[in-house]
Amino acid sequence: MGQAVGVVSNRVKSTFTPAGSAFTIWGVIYTLAVLCVIFLAWKWKDSFKNFGRRTYITLSVNFLLNGVWIFLWTGAGAGSAILWTSVVFMVGILATLIMVYRWAGAASARASSSWAESLCVRTFLSVYLGWISVAIIANVAGAATPVDGATPGWGLGAATWASVMLSVAGILALVQATLYFDVGYPAVIAWASWWVSVQQSEPNWPGDDNTVGVARTVFGVAIFAVVIALGGGLYRMLSLKQPWQPAWPSIAASGCGPVTMYAPAMPEDDEAGEALSPKENPATAPHTGEAEDWPKRPAAARA
**pLDDT tens digits along 197-218:** 998 888 887 778 888 999 999 9
Query: Would you say 285 and 279 are in contact if contact means Cβ atoms under 8 Å apart?
Result: yes
Burial class (CB in 10 A: 0-12, 13-18, 19+), 171: middle
Burial category of 275 from C-beta neighbours within 10 Å (exposed 0-12, middle 13-18, buried 19 and up): exposed
Closest CA to 225 of 256, 193, 254, 267: 193
- In the chain, what is the straight-line distance between the N-terminal and C-terminal CA atoms, in Å? 93
The predicted pLDDT at position 225 comes to: 97
> Residues with Cβ < 8 Å from 54, sequence gap 6 or more?
99, 103
At 275, is the secondary structure helix, strand, or coil?
Answer: strand
On the question of pLDDT at 291 being above 60, the answer is no
Look at residue 138 in the predicted model and tell me its pLDDT.
Answer: 85
pTM as predicted: 0.74
Of 41, 130, 67, 138, whose CA–CA distance to 94 is shortest? 130
pLDDT for residue 47: 78
Q: What is the mean pLDDT of the chain?
A: 77
pLDDT tens digits, 124-165: 999 999 999 999 988 888 777 654 445 554 556 777 888 888
Cα(252)–Cα(259) distance, rounded to whole angstroms?
10
Question: Which of 109-118, 247-256, 273-282 ranks highest by mean pLDDT?
Answer: 109-118
Most confident of 8-12, 40-44, 251-255: 40-44
Mean pLDDT of 51-77: 87
For the segment 63-85, the average pLDDT, to the nearest whole number, is: 80
Overall average pLDDT of the 163-190 stretch: 93
CB atoms under 10 Å from CB of 14, counted, come to 27
**Of residues 104 and 59, more confidently modeled:** 59
Answer with the residue of higher pLDDT: 199 or 295: 199
CB 69 within 8 A of CB 96: no
> What span, in angstroms and rounded, lies between the C-alpha atoms of 185 and 128?
8
pLDDT of the residue at 6: 58
Give the mean pLDDT of 268-279.
48
Long-range contacts at 93-96 (CB < 8 A, ≥ 24 apart): 93/62, 93/65, 93/66, 93/69, 93/132, 93/136, 94/132, 94/133, 94/136, 96/58, 96/59, 96/61, 96/62, 96/65
- Determine which of 40-44, 140-144, 264-268 has the lowest per-residue pLDDT on average: 264-268
What is the structure's pLDDT at 117? 85
Mean pLDDT across 66-88: 79
> What confidence score (pLDDT) does residue 63 get?
96
Length in residues, the chain = 303
